[in-house]
Amino acid sequence: MKTLEQQARSRLRDSKRVVVKLGTRLLADRGGKPNRARIAELVNGVCALRKEGREVVLVSSGAIGMGIDALGLKARPKSLPDLQMAAAVGQTRLMSLYAELFAKQKLQVGQVLLTHDLLNHRGRHLNARNTLLNLLRNGIVPVVNENDVVSVDEIRVGDNDSLAALTSLLVDADTLVLLTSVSGFKRPSAKGQMTKVGYLPKVLPRDMKHAGGAGSGVSVGGMRTKLEAAETIAQTGALTLIADGRKKDILKSVFTSPTIGTLIGGDSDAGVRSSRKKWLAFFHRSSGSLVVDAGASKAMQSGGKSLLAVGIKKVRGSFDSGALVNIESIDGSLLARGLVDYSSSEIEKIRGRASKDIAGILGRRDYDEVIHRDNMVVFGLNRAKNAKK
């Protein structure tokens, strides 16, 4: 019988829809100058995957870095207007290069710029999904980036590892490949030496302790954001492979060599499967939280039940009816997320009370439940950190 790793490796080889994320340090030097030779090799790798019959979505960093180079700046700007200016200049430069290189392989590219605000809105979310899927159906390689030209903190995703994870969820990818400038995730061995981990069935808190941050002045993110991205999509049964994009023929090796990079994930039956549940789980920012007792937790996680007022112990935050909130255990663990049928002030009044008492307290009873099961997604025990954001 195959081990969990063997099963995961087999699924990796059979992946039909793949999201490939290219990090800034692969595409440009520390000053942001484009590395044309490496970009060309990576483009050739994507084209080779296409010839194998795989669908590929490219999530590309590098726009701000290339804008920095084109504008003659010495370092990454700190002010938002200057970052947006660099992005505007760099996006044009980056896409022109991709269009030129893919055209040599007789492939077209289509640029898709996303923001968290866009993905959070159900209608625009579906439009983005349909556009990406239509590009794939027509043999076009989508090149995805965050719309840094208009992004501010309130609407931005934050880093391209997170963007790659959300893109993977958006198109129901089988595998996310995160190409970076290191060989994979490393942690101390029994002898205390930092050693690459070949396979992780899931990301645990102890793994996060060994993950570093950003590695250069023109990049955002680091191993921590990669692990968070991997654990996010693992909740849907998808795989993540973190590997060194500087190696020759890396995209071929990713799907053929059992020793390349760090493969993460393994539960092909992971619970969050439907498009709407993914939207609820991963594309929203929570407006608050409801702390529930053990009975409510068991009813949701094991019994498939809605959340009733009687099981709610605390209300945190201020929100209106229809807002998305986290559902947490008393010890702070994230259990689920869902859309509330009552506002925070109303829930505060009815928490701990039976559904039949709601009309007497509020003067009406629009719903028996605070969050209906159809508007809720229940998580496993080990959730990625960014699901609570």
DSSP 192: S
Q: Do residues 17 and 173 touch, judged by C-beta distance below 8 A?
A: yes
Q: Which residues pair with 178 in a beta bridge?
A: 21, 242
Q: Do residues 282 and 307 touch, judged by C-beta distance below 8 A?
A: no
DSSP 355: G
Separation CA 343–CA 283 (nearest Å)? 21
Q: Do residues 95 and 108 touch, judged by C-beta distance below 8 A?
A: no
pLDDT of residue 389: 40
CATH of domain 4-272: 3.40.1160.10
Secondary structure element (H or E) that encloses residue 264, with its range: strand 262-264
Q: CATH 2.30.130.10 occupies which residues in the chain?
A: 284-388
- The SS3 call for residue 283 is coil
Q: Do residues 352 and 312 touch, judged by C-beta distance below 8 A?
A: yes
Tokens of 16: 């039909």
Q: pLDDT by residue for the chain (389 residues), tens digit each?
A: 678 888 999 999 999 999 999 988 888 776 567 788 999 999 999 999 999 999 999 999 888 888 888 888 887 888 888 888 888 898 888 999 999 999 999 999 999 998 887 888 788 888 999 999 999 999 999 999 887 666 544 334 557 898 999 999 999 999 999 999 888 999 887 777 888 999 999 888 888 887 765 444 444 458 889 999 998 898 888 999 999 999 999 999 999 998 999 999 977 666 676 777 888 888 877 899 999 999 999 999 888 899 999 999 999 999 999 999 999 999 988 899 999 999 999 999 999 999 999 999 999 998 999 999 989 999 864 443 334 44
Q: CATH 3.40.1160.10 occupies which residues in the chain?
A: 4-272
Q: How many CA atoms lie within 13 A of 85 on its CB side?
A: 13
Tokens of 261: 């990079």
Separation CA 273–CA 43 (nearest Å)? 31
- The SS3 call for residue 23 is coil
pLDDT of residue 118: 82
pTM for this predicted structure:
0.81
Single out the residue of 271, 292, 273, 295 nearest to residue 378, CA to CA.
271
pLDDT of residue 362: 96
- 349, 350, 353, 357 alpha-carbon torsion, rounded to 10°: 110
Q: Do residues 24 and 218 touch, judged by C-beta distance below 8 A?
A: yes
Q: Which residues pair with 28 in a beta bridge?
A: 34
Q: Do residues 376 and 337 touch, judged by C-beta distance below 8 A?
A: yes
Q: Do residues 42 and 251 touch, judged by C-beta distance below 8 A?
A: yes
CATH of domain 284-388: 2.30.130.10
Secondary structure element (H or E) that encloses residue 195, with its range: strand 194-196
Interval 218-275: pLDDT, tens = 444 588 899 999 988 988 889 999 999 999 999 999 999 989 999 999 776 666 767 7
DSSP 74: S
